Structure 1
């Protein structure tokens, strides 16, 4: 069935999509994160996510854990720069009870001092693990460099100094100010009934009053800066590099087009083998064919991080220190090829890959609920996937080149390198590869 949406009187938004799945997924999404934080409380949203299922004032932790275990309910939390999502996967009959559980997160968190101190220690280890993961460190620096000077560039997990300062009073104050009805969305997918979900949400979240302070204004569009960060460490076996440009946000009509065209670049790993030895020359994106022939990297992937009104589109790759210049050349050359000489066959390949990815996303209920939550929070509407795919199928080569050129051609990139980066071309050379001289 097509997705449905309802907005309650106090601004809470409810969305659902009924499927034949015997299980259900319910998501509570709240607009919170570094975008709504300050340098003094940066990381507090992520910290609250850690404490969300440690027990409530009306429901001790032991009893909560027993209830979840006996009924086969799985809870997860995900924090991004502008959203925190609590997701429950459960038998379909328990979807209504998950709404009540999520309501307690907003109004009934216990926030015991012992739990707060224990989570601080866990957060220190989490920060240490993030610093030791080259990919996570690369993308952290990517956001820091691209959105420097804005709250969007602050880390999701915060800093050790901030974490040490968090106490019960600070956490309760932040929840009261930021977990507001107009920033809350409840979405459900699976064998669920929309009217029942709306009724359950109205009985709980419908009673949340609006905070008397002025918190309705949305932070402005974060400013993008073409720049670079290099963290050189010659002890690492490979360099981890990300090259990106500013891209349209979730609400922009070209957002899905750029995502589809990105599949023309594709991704590749040495574990896949080369096109010659595998006989797959016609089944790989153009850049993947070139990279596999020359073996100039171990792995690369196209990424597109989208937010409400901005995004980052680019390529992340892992390569030997002596192959960095070759890989940068391949990226710039193929991006310019798409801008100026994209072929019909390449666009058909990209659209087919895009449709496959969209269809695969329908097999994971948590993807459905989280995407639906973004739609109703960012645009107050829910689009059926068939409508989105239908528009992409009508995409012409001329339009694809125009969209890609709008965001890629002659734009200032943000470049991040972690590891042995001595051979990574300097920024002005990379910038000069973002256009071709024409006569």
Structure 2
């Protein structure tokens, strides 16, 4: 059964939770003073662990004048603290053969490291130091401004990246979800150090922090290490005992479809067609996963077979979906010869509409469910995936599903449910983004 993850103060019922998992693993959750949440999954026999520090702030939380700050912070937290230089941080993980990185999303940011189990205390201390005590040195900020502009330029040279980024803008329009996660070159060039500092001080607080770890990790020891490291970093852990509330988005306003064509001097065109779909907590997200697998999730999928195998119109074609607090994104992608863009687009839409017109056959449904179940289990074989699962369970879903419960929900999906959802997606306003060597 799914385990609910309530927002409670330390010492309250539910502040300490233990959930048994398959294979002898166990998930524990503790709310520390200050509202800091710690979740661990001990995996017997693992000699490594992945530790992540999640902050419930993403690019959609940026206000005017602060655009680009979230991605800026992802870079700057590695550039030094009061106790460590940027080289100290890098050497700490290189010296033990570990890996450290970070990821920014539209609704959260995560700083994480994978190390041997004996090096978990070091990883906790370094990551906590980065989160609590980043200096945001003006000289380092200007250097990193150039690095981020190069990163954006690299992404802009990849037409598929451009297509996906512009697709979100086409679907969500002039809203926080429509802004690029990494910021625009104009925003990165113009955002001042004071704005990045204000964004950091406003959002990086104990009640917004979630620490997750999976692998060879001891929960009680980790809780003690986290609390000590945060206090060393200067955080007051007694100002509040209740974690910040989970993000609840307002009901998404209906948006009309948009068409966008972007000129790039490439040999191939990239096209994405789709629109909004389910939010991250919708109970039908398991239905959506089956629909996505059937439509464009593998070599046996409808898009792959119809667009590539039967007609030879594209090398790469697939479908994708992502969820946010109040809405989601669903799209069909293909890379093809520019002259065939309209034909390929019509064919992809036809496959979605065909799913809406008639239920899947038993064999196709079983194949898609098997694909998802296998992928789910295989994806949980590494500590990083399990660490990430804990963070999303705490920040997004408010419940922790063990593997068996997740598999049961996938296996419970019916052909009629998939058909009904396909009908909703097919009837929704449709956006199209094309990137390639098109004229004005």
The TM tier, using the shorter chain, reads: 0.7 to 0.9
Q: Is the 8 A contact 2:42 2:218 kept in 1?
A: yes
Which among 222, 246, 259 is matched to residue 289 of structure 2? 259
Task: Give the TM-score, by structure 1 length.
Answer: 0.85
Quick one: distance in 2 between partners of 1:353 and 1:208?
47
Quick one: distance in 2 between partners of 1:230 and 1:237?
19
Q: Look up the match of 1:285.
A: 301
Which among 412, 415, 419 is matched to residue 394 of structure 1? 412
Q: CA deviation at 1:64?
A: 2.9
Q: Is the 8 A contact 2:65 2:195 kept in 1?
A: no
Q: CA deviation at 1:167?
A: 4.2
Q: Secondary structure at the match of 2:177?
A: helix
Q: CA deviation at 1:85?
A: 1.0
Judging changes above 3 Å, is the alpha-carbon distance between structure 1 residues 6 and 294 closer, same or farther for their aligned structure 2 residues?
Answer: same
Q: Deviations over 1:164-199 (max 9, x none)?
A: 344443333211111133322111011112222223
Q: Look up the match of 1:304.
A: 321
Q: Is the 8 A contact 2:170 2:260 kept in 1?
A: no
Q: Secondary structure at the match of 1:263?
A: helix
- 1:218-367 correspondence to structure 2 within 5 Å: 218=247, 220-221=249-250, 223=253, 225-233=255-263, 235-267=265-297, 284-291=300-307, 292-341=309-358, 342-367=360-385
Q: CA deviation at 1:226?
A: 3.3
Q: Secondary structure at the match of 2:319?
A: strand
Q: Look up the match of 2:211.
A: 186
Task: Give the TM-score, by structure 2 length.
Answer: 0.85
Judging changes above 3 Å, is the alpha-carbon distance between structure 1 residues 309 and 107 closer, same or farther for their aligned structure 2 residues?
Answer: same
Q: Look up the match of 1:384.
A: 402
Q: Deviations over 1:294-325 (max 9, x none)?
A: 11222101111222332111211101122222
Q: How big is the alpha-carbon RMSD for the aligned residues of Structure 1 and Structure 2?
A: 2.4
Quick one: distance in 1 between partners of 2:402 and 2:439?
48
Q: Deviations over 1:362-401 (max 9, x none)?
A: 1232222123211101233321122011121122222222
Judging changes above 3 Å, is the alpha-carbon distance between structure 1 residues 266 and 2 closer, same or farther for their aligned structure 2 residues?
Answer: farther
Judging changes above 3 Å, is the alpha-carbon distance between structure 1 residues 403 and 104 closer, same or farther for their aligned structure 2 residues?
Answer: same
Q: Look up the match of 2:143.
A: 118
Q: Deviations over 1:231-253 (max 9, x none)?
A: 34373211111112212122111
Q: Look up the match of 2:393.
A: 375
Q: Secondary structure at the match of 1:409?
A: helix
Larger deviation, residues 105-114 vs 182-191: 105-114
Q: Deviations over 1:9-44 (max 9, x none)?
A: 422222111223221101111122221102321111
Q: Secondary structure at the match of 2:88?
A: helix
Judging changes above 3 Å, is the alpha-carbon distance between structure 1 residues 180 and 379 closer, same or farther for their aligned structure 2 residues?
Answer: farther
Larger deviation, residues 318-327 vs 43-52: 318-327
Quick one: distance in 1 between partners of 2:341 and 2:323?
27
Q: Look up the match of 2:18.
A: none
Quick one: distance in 1 between partners of 2:324 and 2:236?
26
Q: Secondary structure at the match of 2:54?
A: strand
Judging changes above 3 Å, is the alpha-carbon distance between structure 1 residues 182 and 259 closer, same or farther for their aligned structure 2 residues?
Answer: farther
List runs of 5+ in structure 2 lacking aligned partners: 1-24
Q: Secondary structure at the match of 1:284?
A: coil
- 1:405-424 correspondence to structure 2 within 5 Å: 405-406=423-424, 408-420=425-437
Judging changes above 3 Å, is the alpha-carbon distance between structure 1 residues 64 and 180 closer, same or farther for their aligned structure 2 residues?
Answer: closer
Matched, 1:5 2:29: yes
Which among 9, 23, 27 is matched to residue 48 of structure 2? 23
Q: Look up the match of 2:8.
A: none
Q: Deviations over 1:65-107 (max 9, x none)?
A: 3322211221111111111111101111122332222221222
List runs of 5+ in structure 1 lacking aligned partners: 269-282, 424-439
Larger deviation, residues 330-339 vs 167-176: 167-176
Q: CA deviation at 1:350?
A: 1.0
Q: CA deviation at 1:219?
A: 7.3
Q: Is the 8 A contact 1:241 1:415 kept in 2?
A: yes
Q: Is the 8 A contact 1:3 1:384 kept in 2?
A: no
Quick one: distance in 2 between partners of 1:146 and 1:372?
29
Report how many aligned residue pairs link the two structures. Answer: 405
Q: Look up the match of 2:116.
A: 91
Q: Is the 8 A contact 1:247 1:313 kept in 2?
A: yes
Quick one: distance in 2 between partners of 1:217 and 1:286?
37
Q: Is the 8 A contact 1:148 1:224 kept in 2?
A: no
Q: CA deviation at 1:47?
A: 0.6
- 1:98-137 correspondence to structure 2 within 5 Å: 98-137=123-162
Matched, 1:159 2:184: yes
